Structure 1
Amino acid sequence: MAEKENLSALFDGDTTDRRLIDALESDVSAQEAWKSFSVTRDVMRGDAPQSLNWDIAGSVAAALENEPTYSGETAENVVPMHVSQPTPEVARSGMPSWLQQMTQVGMAAAVSLAVIVGVQQYNGGSVTDPVLAGAQPPVLQTIPLSGSAEPVSLSREPLQSTSDEAQLMEQRRRVNAMFQDYELQLRLNADDIADKNDLLTPEVSIQD
């Protein structure tokens, strides 16, 4: 790096060191650096020729010579690492039974909730909850453009078919039954764990 800085100073005329001039006459790398400085200056001034003779092949050959070689013996000694992933059946078999049941109940509840929301959206977003229905703003009906007058009403009850209401009630009943079964399974598993802990805990007798 210092040699290139000295050559740059000599090229710019900032120094007239005789040793650098002598080294420039015999050192090939210094001559290449001097050539690079000259081309850079011509390009910056706009005096560069139309076609520059860049020795790209020589640079690539020099880089390949400095590249470390890898023999076939080295490649044969490399042992590939294969990490096997468990199948879904093996992964589920390693889970405790109560966790599997809880996962199934949670998935069923999520699907049922999605079905209920989808049915409500399909019915036009009607609200069946009386609390939410009471929060809706009143609808004021006026005389239509056809000329026939209608009585003014402050509220209109949403019209729903009996089959849709029965379907919603059945879906809610199933969701409630799933949650009750889920709570029962948790209680039973908690009791089993407590009984196992009692059996594993040794009794300590205190003697006077």
Structure 2
Amino acid sequence: MSISWETLAGRQDCIYEVEDFEAAGYALITAQVLYESESHQRMHYQIVQAYRAQYRERLSDLGFNFDLNEVGRFCYVFPKRAPKTMLPLKETLLILTLRSIYHAKASRGDLNKGIAEVTIEELESTHKELTSREITNSVGEMRALFQQMRRWGLAKLVDTEAGDTQPFVVAILPAIDVLINESWLTRIAAYKDVPADPPAEGKVNEEA
């Protein structure tokens, strides 16, 4: 039987309140991934990290798989039995491209604290090479796509300094290495000849 948050919060060595435990659990489920490096997620990550056994048990009871990566300093959840989700083709191809770039950079040891940084030019050229498609011609749409990538804990845009020729660079986050598995990577070739309009079937947390 799992220990209640009230019991944990009442211990002399505990610095957290019941509301802190509840907020951290809610943040983890809604964000899917929590990073210590993200300032708005740091406290929630640290709570989950300190009480991982209790969160693992509770999340399992709710139907979620849970894991914590000490090296990358992130934790993540995904449903044990979730229906397949239809992702738009554009998002699917971007995820596949980001995962492929991350894999290549990790293989070369070209990561900074588990993060792979890539310029927009590199991203666009790799995406075109792998998929025979452009990502987008709109800066606004690019930002919107990466808002979704960030919400899933996969990647984010980082604004560059004033005067730089590009407004931002791409930071591919370490959870992409575990959330997007090898079965995703094998889809690149299959999508090269798919029309641009139909959605592609897939889900961010799909297992092999």
Q: Which has the higher helix share?
A: 1
* TM-score, length of structure 1 as denominator length: 0.18
Instruction: Kindly name which structure, 1 or 2, has the bigger radius of gyration based on alpha carbons.
Output: 1
Normalized per residue, the structure richer in strand is 2
Q: Provide the TM-score with structure 2 as the length reference.
A: 0.18
